Each structure stands twice: as structure tokens, then as C-alpha cells.
Chains A and B, each alone.
Chain A
Amino acid sequence: NAGVMQNPRHLVRRRGQEARLRCSPMKGHSHVYWYRQLPEEGLKFMVYLQKENIIDESGMPKERFSAEFPKEGPSILRIQQVVRGDSAAYFCASSPYSLYQETQYFGPGTRLLVL
């Protein structure tokens, strides 16, 4: 059973470009979470999605960031007009249910570097 898949693993962008990060949850999981890890910091929640629904986006910056989880295909985290401060590791996690005790399983992350 494959784990959470993320691609690309590494992404280099110049300031002003767009970054698209993809996450395929574990088989049978319909809940996806995105977290960001800035250098020398812990993980910060960004957004929680179910298929075709954004449940909680309280951790998303108000501008330039968006996320989706379509009926078919992976979840996408999109960052428009990237700036150097967006350089971080972005982790996706998935769980099968929305019950609070359910464990979130993490992918290997996408490391974004903005030049």
C-alpha cells in the first residue's frame, strides 16, 4: 500500500513565477492536509481539504496561495508570484476519516527554493 505521494520532491522557482505542488493521498484516504515547515521551525497548518471541498483554510496566507482537491486526481497547492519567503518544505498529510483521533500520515514533502 503506497504511502502519501508528493511531487516534485524539489522545486526551484524564480521570484514572480508560479509553484504547483501535488499530493496524492494514501489509498482510501479522502482527507488531505497541507503544512509548511520554514527553516529551523516546526510545521504550521495551512489548509484542510476533502474531495471538492475546502474545510479549513485558516492557515493559508490570504494572497497568492490556493489549494484544491478535485474529485479525480491529486490535491494541488498553488503559489502564485512566489517570493523568497515562500522557500520552505511543504508537507501533505492524509487520513481516512475526519474523526479527531484519526492519524494523519505524511508524505516526503516538496522543498521549494525561490531564487
Chain B
Amino acid sequence: AQSVAQPEDQVNVAEGNPLTVKCTYSVSGNPYLFWYVQYPNRGLQFLLKYITGDNLVKGSYGFEAEFNKSQTSFHLKKPSALVSDSALYFCAVRDPKISTDSWGKLQFGAGTQVVVTP
């Protein structure tokens, strides 16, 4: 069964400093990995995804993520955080194997609250 873990409930960072949000996964084979961001009382906005190819994926709003197969990680990064990046961030995995248990669905982590202070 697939699973994803976000070990930090909250990450605090000062504006202008680098931001990292951690994500580890467990899935058989090569995973499809996604990052979404949720602002208060809003839906989820897609940031980026890893399917195959380069381990460093670039996404929206200056975010990027590095896929590390040996560490089964997909950490989200931003070189210089903004106050407007304060939000709830979700990592998600989609099992690439066709099976009735995993067909189509995203498995989400519990989320990491990012707080960027001025």
C-alpha cells in the first residue's frame, strides 16, 4: 500500500530565508509525486509534480522539489520565502501500478503549515 509522510506539522521561517518542507513516501516501484498548497478556506492549488526524468522539478511561484529515490523523499523548496507563502502544504503520491486498490486516487500527507514572518 502506498503512503506519504510529512514529518513536520509546522515550519517557521523568516522572510527571505530558504524554505524546505519535507515529504517521504512509500510505494512499490516508481512513484508519481505531487505538491499542493492550500490557503485558508480555499481549495488546493497544484504546485508541481514528479513523474520521471530530472530529479529536480520546478513548479509555480518559485517552488521546486527534489526527488531522491534512495531516501524515498520529495522535499519542497524555495530559495527565498515570502510572507505570502504562508499556507498549508500537502505532499501526495499516486501509485503507478494498476490495481483496484490504488486506481486513480491521490494519497495525501497530513500537511505542513508554513509560517513566514516578516
Q: B-contacting residues of A (Cβ < 8 Å)? A: 4, 6, 31, 33, 35, 41-45, 48, 55-56, 58-59, 91, 93, 98, 100-101, 103-109, 111
| Interface SS of chain B | loop
Q: A-contacting residues of B (Cβ < 8 Å)? A: 32, 34, 36, 41-46, 49, 51, 90, 94-96, 100-101, 103-111
Number of cross-chain contacts by CB at 8 Å? 64
Cβ contact of A44, chosen from B41, B45, B51, B108, cutoff 8 A: B108
In the A-B complex, the 10 residue pairs with the closest CB atoms: A45-B105, A48-B104, A106-B44, A101-B51, A106-B43, A42-B108, A108-B43, A43-B108, A42-B110, A56-B103
Q: Using Cβ atoms and an 8 Å threshold, which residues of chain B touch A4? A: 43
Name the residue on B nearest A108 (C-beta): B43
